[in-house]
Amino acid sequence: TPTRYEAESSPATCDGSIDSNHSGYSGSGFCNTDNTTGAAAQFTVNAAASGTATLEIRYANGGSSGRPAAVTVNGSSAQSLSFSTTGAWNNWATATLTVPVNSGSNTIRLAATGSDGLPNIDYLDVTTSDGGGTTTG
């Protein structure tokens, strides 16, 4: 089962406002970033072991075009993607990607690469492969 990190819950940060005016979100709200290039939502994610993590990003994009973003993990570029339109701000969808993580705390940052900013971000669900562990040494 994934661990859920709500966009409105510290230590997550949102370059914009935490809003609750579009229904269907989890928790107490969602991150509405400023509509500007570079606007970001950032999460602090724990992993039991280094390896890969599956990220499920719940978002709504009621705009008429996709919103591109760059994903960085611990400051390193991991992936770029475009959050496609969901047709309305209260229609939520999930984007899934896989990124590398370190053991312990990881900073996962979604930053808009287009001038519309990010879509509204509800949460990040993270599944890490703790792998059952190989013992070395």
The footprint of ligand GCU (CB under 6 A) covers 19, 22, 32, 35, 63, 89, 117, 120
Residue 46 CB neighbours (<10 A): 13
Residue 63's binding partner out of ligand GCU, Ca ion, none, with CB under 5 to 8 Å set by partner kind: ligand GCU
Nearest approach in angstroms of CB 130 to Ca ion is: 35
Residues that bind Ca ion in the complex, under the rule CB under 5 A: 32, 35, 117
Residues paired with residue 126 on neighbouring β-strands, in sequence order: 3, 55
CB 35 within 8 A of CB 116: yes
User: What are the C-alpha distances in Å from 117 to residues 19, 38, 132?
Assistant: 15, 7, 39
Nearest approach in angstroms of CB 117 to ligand GCU is: 5
Nearest approach in angstroms of CB 125 to Ca ion is: 21
Task: Please provide residue 63's backbone torsions phi and psi, each rounded to the nearest 5 degrees.
Answer: -75, 180
Q: Of the two residues 5 and 30, which places its CB atom closer to Ca ion in the complex?
A: 30
